[in-house]
Amino acid sequence: MKTPEDRFAARLDVTGMLCPMPVLRARRKLDELNTGDMLLVVASDPAVVHDMPAFCRMAGHALIMAHVQDGKYLFEIEKGDRGSESESE
């Protein structure tokens, strides 16, 4: 039986890490994924509420959903296709 988390190609737990590490780790994990893959990021640093959406906008990824659950910040990110273009410029 499939669970809701089956739609994620990867899950990244960065709880306990402070800015800028959650965004840097998310970037590294997204680099490993294919365009259109979904990444679930779980973080505890309140600064990530501002940093992760800004990172997604700048890097061309889609922030599908962001919410708080059990005191942790969860981000559902769909990998965009701009990553390979920006690296080659």
CATH of residue 50's domain is 3.30.110.40
Distance CA 7, CA 17 (A): 25
pTM, two decimal places:
0.87
Number of structural domains (the chain) is 1
Distance CA 38, CA 78 (A): 4
Out of 9, 10, 17, 19, pick the active-site residue: 19
48-59 and 21-32 helices, crossing angle to 10°: 40
Whether residue 47 is contained in a domain is answered as: yes
**pLDDT computed for residue 6 by the predictor:** 85
Whether residue 52 is contained in a domain is answered as: yes
Distance CA 27, CA 32 (A): 9
Catalytic (active site) residue 56: no
Whether residue 68 is contained in a domain is answered as: yes
Whole domain around residue 33: which residue ranges? Answer: 21-77
Residues (pLDDT < 50) of the chain are 84-89
Whether residue 8 is contained in a domain is answered as: no
**pLDDT computed for residue 3 by the predictor:** 58
**pLDDT computed for residue 89 by the predictor:** 41
**pLDDT computed for residue 82 by the predictor:** 73
